[in-house]
């Protein structure tokens, strides 16, 4: 998937972690974060049954500034700390994780990042970095979302991380217990799948760079983009139906329709880039639905009737010139001009019901980002929040068409967004003084209430249910 090095000023705790890992030539530096943990002993047990009984409903998982993992209700109640030292009778306010009631030794060498919800809300997958005298251990943990009990399903073999600030890219199947992820191996970037069996390690099913992919909704197939090759594999691993072709299109993630019957991708033909749709049972029967710019990103609407497309006319421009809604039946498309200029779209995300689209606008004059939400008919666009993203959110927005499938900022009911960062100048002018450092904010997409500050944190993601 990822061969990128985002340019960003990293927070102190993230800088320290990356130095310890030695990612992409950044070598060892002293650890400045005190990161206690009370689950380290559990997470090293290879046969812990982490199958949760009750799914978490309408919960937010987030990473604190020191690398601990929490879940919380959208109103800030019911805080649960899943990692970190808990003293008997103490701990954070609200609902404390079960199974962690005794005093635990404080540790200063662990960091958890990129929590990712399973479809049923019972589990979280998360990257874990442990710095030791003899080196650094980077593992992928699957954790019970209620208790924090976890097991290791993959241990990095020394190949580094997939990108700055991202030990893995983690993506649960939309249904069932399968977990996919990308990890840097000694032989390159590998795609792995864990079948959900406690005590069983994940297995590699593909390799290549760059590598982007999407699960089908029924988890029975994957669309992959590996180098120049576009692949439709059903099932994703092992023997089965496999179609592939070469594409010269400048895009990242191929897009599967919600019913799994069509695949959208970009290709170059007759000197022009075009967005194509092909039936997944015969990729040779593709048809072009629209010309696109030199680079583009696209995602199907949840009902499968439209594709949101962002493209750019200036090669290698990090932003998109326009944002369009393109009907898949060949009807006329709608172009939005969401910002003060035509050069300001960075990322977009469909609401769960498909009735709204949220995007991140770039205000060059203010040197900040802004969340904007509109109904899909283009009316009532609301500017919700001006901010500077955390380092992790910077990564997520830079590769939003991949992260949209795994790390949704939308609440399950489509009424709120969750983001991490610091308030921008515009937000500060309208909301008064704000605490320093990255924080977790819940945004009302109707704009009728002020953003809710949930506390310090660098990355947050909403459960799917």
Query: Are the C-beta atoms of 21 and 167 separated by less than 8 Å?
Result: yes
50 within 8 A of 149, measured Cβ to Cβ? yes
Phi, psi of 81 (to 5 degrees): -100, 115
User: Is residue 282 classed as helix, strand or coil in its secondary structure?
Assistant: coil
Q: Using CA atoms, how far apart are residues 285 and 26, in angstroms rounded to an integer?
A: 47
**Whole-prediction pTM:** 0.84
How many other CB atoms are found less than 10 A from the CB of residue 383?
15
Among 122, 52, 56, smallest CA distance to 95 is for 56
- State the Cα–Cα distance between residues 286 and 281, nearest whole angstrom: 11
Q: Are 375 and 355 in contact (CB under 8 A)?
A: yes
Cα 161 from Cα 169, distance rounded (Å): 9
Residue 181 has pLDDT above 90, yes or no: yes
Residue 372: the pLDDT is 92
pLDDT in tens, 213-250: 999 999 999 999 999 999 999 999 877 889 999 999 99
Q: How remote is the C-alpha of 108 from its chain's centroid?
A: 26
pLDDT score of 5 more than 60: no
Q: pLDDT per residue over 101-123, tens digit each? A: 333 444 568 999 999 999 999 99
Please say if the pLDDT value at position 95 is more than 90. Answer: no
Q: Say if residues 460 and 418 touch (Cβ distance below 8 Å).
A: yes
> Residue 364: pLDDT band by 50, 70, 90 thresholds?
confident
Report yes or no: 256 and 265 within 8 Å, Cβ to Cβ: no
Question: What residues contact residue 271 under an 8 Å CB cut-off, 6+ apart?
Answer: none
Contact 298, 309 (CB under 8 A): yes
What count of other Cβ atoms lies within 10 Å of the Cβ of residue 83?
A: 30
Q: Is residue 428 predicted with pLDDT exceeding 50?
A: yes
Distance in angstroms (rounded) separating the CA atoms of residues 370 and 381: 12
Question: Could you report the per-residue pLDDT of 45-71, keeping only the tens digit for each?
Answer: 334 445 455 778 999 999 999 999 999
Tell me the C-alpha distance between 247 and 26, whole Å: 34
**Cα gap 186→458, rounded to integer Å:** 29
């Amino acid at each position: 998937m990822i061969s990128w090095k985002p340019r960003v000023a990293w927070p102190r705790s993230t800088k320290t972690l990356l130095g310890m890992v030695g990612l992409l030539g950044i070598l060892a530096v002293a650890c400045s974060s005190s990161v206690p943990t009370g689950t380290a002993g559990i997470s090293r047990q290879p046969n812990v049954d982490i199958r949760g009984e009750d799914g978490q409903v309408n919960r937010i998982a987030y990473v604190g500034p020191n690398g601990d993992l929490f879940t919380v209700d959208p109103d800030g109640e019911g805080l649960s700390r899943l990692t970190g030292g808990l003293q008997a009778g103490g701990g954070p306010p609200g609902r404390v994780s079960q199974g962690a009631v005794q005093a635990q030794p404080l540790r200063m060498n662990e960091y958890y990042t990129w929590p990712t919800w399973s479809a049923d809300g019972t589990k979280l997958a998360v990257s874990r970095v442990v710095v030791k005298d003899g080196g650094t251990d980077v593992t992928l943990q699957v954790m019970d979302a209620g208790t924090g009990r976890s097991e290791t399903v993959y241990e990095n073999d020394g190949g580094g991380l997939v990108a700055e600030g991202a030990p893995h890219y983690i993506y649960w199947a939309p249904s069932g217990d399968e977990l996919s992820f990308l990890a840097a191996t000694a032989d390159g970037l590998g795609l792995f799948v864990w079948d959900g069996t406690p005590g069983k390690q994940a297995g590699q099913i593909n390799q290549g760079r760059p590598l982007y992919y999407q699960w089908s909704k029924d988890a029975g197939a994957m669309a992959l983009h590996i180098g120049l090759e576009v692949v439709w594999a059903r099932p994703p691993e092992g023997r089965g139906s496999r179609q592939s072709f070469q594409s010269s299109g400048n895009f990242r993630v191929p897009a599967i329709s919600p019913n799994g019957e069509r695949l959208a991708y970009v290709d170059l033909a007759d000197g022009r880039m075009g967005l194509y749709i092909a039936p997944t049972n015969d990729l040779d029967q593709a048809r072009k639905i629209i010309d696109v710019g030199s680079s583009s990103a696209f995602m199907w609407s949840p009902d499968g009737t439209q594709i949101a497309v962002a493209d750019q006319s200036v090669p290698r421009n990090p932003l998109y010139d326009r944002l369009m809604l393109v009907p898949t039946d060949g009807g006329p498309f709608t172009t939005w001009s969401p910002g003060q200029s035509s050069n300001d779209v960075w990322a977009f995300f469909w609401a769960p019901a498909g009735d709204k689209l949220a995007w991140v606008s770039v205000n060059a004059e203010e040197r900040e980002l802004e969340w904007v939400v509109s109904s899909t008919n283009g009316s009532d666009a609301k500017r919700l929040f001006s901010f500077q993203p955390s380092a992790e959110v910077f990564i997520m927005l830079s590769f939003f068409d991949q992260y949209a499938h795994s790390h949704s900022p939308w609440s399950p009911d489509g009424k709120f967004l969750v983001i991490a960062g610091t308030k921008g100048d515009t937000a500060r002018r309208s909301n008064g003084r704000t605490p320093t450092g990255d924080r977790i904010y819940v945004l009302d997409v109707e704009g009728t209430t002020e953003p809710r500050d949930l506390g310090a944190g660098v990355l947050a993601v909403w459960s799917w249910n």
